[in-house]
Amino acid sequence: MIWNEKMETMAAQDLKNIQSDRLKSIVKYVYDNCPAYTKKIDNHGIKPADINTIDDIKKLPFTIKEDLRDSYPFGLFSQPIKQLKEIHVSSGTTGNPTVVGYTKDDLKLWSEVMARAIACAGGVPGDMIQIAYGYGLFTGGLGFHYGALEMGLTIIPCSSGQTKRQLKIMTDLKPRILACTPSYSLYMAEEAREMGLNPRASSWEIGIFGAEPWSEAMRKEIEATWDMEATDVFGMSEIIGPGVAQECLQKNGMHIFSDVFYPEVIDLQTGKEARPGESGELVITTLTKQGIPLLRYKTRDIVSITYEKCACGRTSPRISKIKGRTDDMIIVRGINVFPSQIEHVLLSIEGTQPHYQLVVDRKTGELDELEVMVEVDEKIFSDEVKKLRALEEKIRDEIESVLGVMVKVRLVEPKTIPRSEGKAKRVVDKRTL
Ligand code: ADP
Ligand code: ZN
């Protein structure tokens, strides 16, 4: 079903008109209500009156993560703190954490887009959903919770962790929908087998997986493991949390809810708009958010976009799976490497497991070294050394031919690489540069 027929199937010109009206209002709104934005817009040499149609968006300055950090905690808010009903705070591993907040209307908006997302993945009112994203300051758990409430689903608010208990709950209560990170769904499968359960016999028919990058190959793996439809959900706390974009069952790009989150894709080299189908950084303007609206926020996520109509009937543009991050990208001997490219190669080779980690190091006076650590099937691991070496070589050749960078491959036993109940850690950078 389509949750909001009107907004999700609107003709292109009508959508453009709504986006234009909303852009005009939001620019005026932040200019009048947020001193940091007043200054930013003034410094850029424009006035809110210069913004009349959605195409004028290009006249606006970008907002970057540092703007949020520099104005920590509340400097980019457009509403008094009293108006905020909920606040989320990022972990801030690389500096000041970022703080985001929701007014009552923002919480309504969040519920609405998450209901659209769950419906887009194939959920219908009356379904039971197991939410295994973390609840708390991380926006995953509560975002799904609000959307499921809005839709009229039956919610099991498991949060992440306590995996054996999750699996017992699934077996006994038989929810139809699972929501968690893709890596956690595979970790759950390992535990299920250990408990003597057959994952393919599970009650889950639909998975809504996001919060971290995952490849097409990983989708196939998850679908085969659990015998379910695995769909991709995208979001980030700065924009709203989960619910920015969601794949429909065509699994051919994520519908971005562009009547409220206006997307642009910017070419990394030229800084100009990338053509449809070409990769660039996703930039989003929140068109209706009240608490902390952001203009042209540079997400650091790399995608391509298409405006072609989708077979599901939705007319919103679709973004590709996230191809990498401008900051997750590792530069090894000058070559840009995205973990997703390596994941793709690894999963296409027989005998490997979808558990891997990339370790980059540079010994004094030497060149960068990229080591790809990947788990292999138990059976292969107990095979003769010769076979292991052959597999190592195959993986190495494949990666080197795809990426054009030399790598070291280390095959490890099943369960060597740390598992995660939330976002998996794919890159360990030991270089001190
Ligand atoms: P959230 O709490 O919604 O996960 P965070 O702010 O913690 O938001 O993280 C947002 C980042 O997580 C995104 O910018 C993106 O890099 C990553 N992310 C979220 N969803 C996906 C997805 N479906 N595929 C790839 N990366 C994703
Ligand atoms: Zn679709």
Domains of the chain: 1-327 (3.40.50.12780), 330-429 (3.30.300.30)
Q: Answer whether 322 contacts ligand 1 (Cβ < 6 A).
A: yes
Q: Answer whether 178 contacts ligand 1 (Cβ < 6 A).
A: no
User: What pLDDT band is residue 125 in, cutting at 50, 70 and 90?
Assistant: very high
229 pairs with which residues across the strands?
206
Confidence (pLDDT) at 141? 97
CA distance to 26, 39, 74, 168, 241, per residue, from 399 (Å): 46, 48, 45, 39, 34
- pLDDT tens digits for range 133-169: 999 999 999 999 999 999 999 999 999 999 999 999 9
Ligand 1 mean position, distance from CA 154 (Å): 25
Ligand 1 mean position, distance from CA 40 (Å): 26
87 pairs with which residues across the strands?
101
CA distance to 32, 226, 292, 371, per residue, from 165 (Å): 50, 17, 37, 35
- pLDDT tens digits for range 37-95: 999 999 999 999 999 999 999 999 999 999 998 999 999 999 999 999 999 998 765 56
Q: Give the separation between CA 104 and CA 110, rounded to whole angstroms.
A: 10
Judge whether 294 and 76 are in contact, CB under 8 Å: yes
HEC profile of 332-381 = ECCEEECHHHHHHHHHCCCCEEEEEEEEEEECCCCCEEEEEEEEECHHHH
Ligand 2 ion: nearby residues, β-carbon < 5 Å: 248, 250, 310, 312, 314
Q: Which of ligand 1's atoms lies nearest the C-alpha of 254?
A: 23
Separation of CA 343 from chain center: 16
Q: Answer whether 234 contacts ligand 1 (Cβ < 6 A).
A: yes
Q: Answer whether 324 contacts ligand 1 (Cβ < 6 A).
A: no
Judge whether 301 and 235 are in contact, CB under 8 Å: no
Q: Answer whether 138 contacts ligand 1 (Cβ < 6 A).
A: yes
Q: How many residues does the chain have?
A: 433
Strand ranges in 41-187 using DSSP code E only, listed in sequence order: 86-89, 99-102, 128-131, 154-156, 177-180
Q: Answer whether 213 contacts ligand 1 (Cβ < 6 A).
A: yes
Q: Give the separation between CA 27 and CA 49, rounded to whole angstroms.
A: 9
Per-residue b or e along 74-111, where b marks 16 or more CB atoms closer than 10 Å to that residue's CB: bbbbbbeeebbebebbbeeeeeebbbbbbbeebbebbb
* Spatial strand order in the sheet of 324-325: 261-266, 280-286, 297-303, 324-325
Residues near 194 by Cβ (< 8 Å), separated by ≥ 6? none
Confidence (pLDDT) at 431? 83
Indicate whether 36 pLDDT > 80: yes
Confidence (pLDDT) at 94? 59
Confidence (pLDDT) at 91? 73
Which protein residue has the closest C-alpha to ligand 1 atom 11? 236
Ligand 2 mean position, distance from CA 272 (Å): 27
Q: Answer whether 139 contacts ligand 1 (Cβ < 6 A).
A: yes
Return the ∠ at Cα 60 (arms to 57 and 62), rounded to 5°.
110
Q: Answer whether 301 contacts ligand 1 (Cβ < 6 A).
A: yes
Q: Give the separation between CA 66 and CA 98, rounded to whole angstroms.
A: 9
Ligand nearest to the CA of 325: 1
Residue 138 burial by Cβ neighbours in a 10 Å radius (0-12, 13-18, 19+): buried
Q: Give the separation between CA 255 and CA 423, rounded to whole angstroms.
A: 22
Confidence (pLDDT) at 337? 86
Residues near 90 by Cβ (< 8 Å), separated by ≥ 6? 97, 98, 99, 137, 237
Ligand 2 mean position, distance from CA 191 (Å): 33
Q: Is 113 helix (H, G, I), strand (E, B) or coil?
A: helix
Confidence (pLDDT) at 92? 65
> 133: closest CA among 110, 165, 156, 107?
156
Q: Give the separation between CA 243 and CA 237, rounded to whole angstroms.
A: 10
- pLDDT tens digits for range 276-335: 999 999 999 999 999 999 999 999 999 999 999 999 999 999 999 998 888 778 888 878
Q: Answer whether 339 contacts ligand 1 (Cβ < 6 A).
A: no
Ligand 1, pocket-test mutation among 184, 304, 321, 322, most atoms within 8 A of CB: 322
Ligand nearest to the CA of 241: 1
Ligand 2 mean position, distance from CA 231 (Å): 11
- pLDDT tens digits for range 348-362: 999 999 999 999 998
pTM value? Answer: 0.89
Tokens of 338: 């995205």
CA distance to 23, 223, 262, 294, per residue, from 227 (Å): 43, 5, 35, 39
Q: Answer whether 291 contacts ligand 1 (Cβ < 6 A).
A: no
Identify the weakest region by mean pLDDT among 1-5, 80-84, 127-131, 334-338: 334-338
Residues near 395 by Cβ (< 8 Å), separated by ≥ 6? 345, 346, 349, 352, 372, 374, 409
Calculate the average pLDDT of the chain.
94
Once rounded to an integer, what is the mean pLDDT over residues 372-396?
A: 91
Q: Answer whether 56 contacts ligand 1 (Cβ < 6 A).
A: no
% of the chain at pLDDT higher than 70? 99
